[in-house]
Copies of this chain bind each other. A is one copy, B any other.
Amino acid sequence: MKTSRETTARNRAKILGIAGQLFRERGLDGVSVAEIMASAGLTHGGFYRYFASKEALAAEACSLVAQQTETDWHTARDTDAEDGLAVLLSRYLTAEHRDSAATGCIYAALGCEVGRSSDDMLHQIFAEGLEGLLGILTEASPEPSATERRRAAIGRLSSLAGALMLARATKGTELSDQILAETRHWLESIQTPPPTP
């Protein structure tokens, strides 16, 4: 049956939200179109009224998650004007984040799969999303020069995503908790290189 314009819009948003969670939890290839639609309370048939393909849904869902993450990071950093960097590190490198991939960082959850994807749109979306986070991290970085802040932001972001990924890959072992704790400790201990005179 036909539904109202509002209901249609709500359904579209719901599909995108559910997809963003399921994709992060089980991978782009690990979730079927039918399952996403069922989780949104619909049947599989109507899917193609909303999206041209599963690939198109993946791109839009990833883009949406990336935007939301950027907003979250922004407010998290502004929680502590003195040391926004410490807030970001301490929120990211936790067992809770490791154990809730569905609502966590999309780069640590889907980075490997996107790297293998033949869909260049996904690479573009990931690059734009990462640039957004890098902007926030760069501003929160204490290094003296802009070049160094940008460099350190890239290094720190790589450490964060890498540590979360490895902690998940080793979950259930002692090493998993160590990776989170020690990477956080290490990042907090890193000294600014002395200004070259």
Contacts and interface: CB of A to CB of B under 8 A. Distances in A.
Given A155-B159, A158-B162, A176-B127, A114 B183 contact: no
For the residues of A in contact with B, the DSSP-based class is helix
Q: Which of A27, A30, A113, A116 has the most CB of B within 10 A?
A: A116
Interface residues of A, number: 60
A27 B116 contact: yes
Interface in A12-59: 25-27, 29-30
A73 interface: no
* Copies held by the complex: 2
Nearest to A26: B116
A145 interface: no
28 contacts: A27-B29, A27-B112, A27-B113, A101-B116, A107-B166, A108-B162, A110-B112, A111-B165, A111-B168, A112-B169, A114-B168, A115-B165, A115-B168, A122-B169, A123-B173, A124-B172, A127-B170, A151-B182, A151-B186, A151-B189, A155-B163, A155-B182, A158-B160, A158-B162, A158-B183, A159-B159, A161-B162, A190-B193
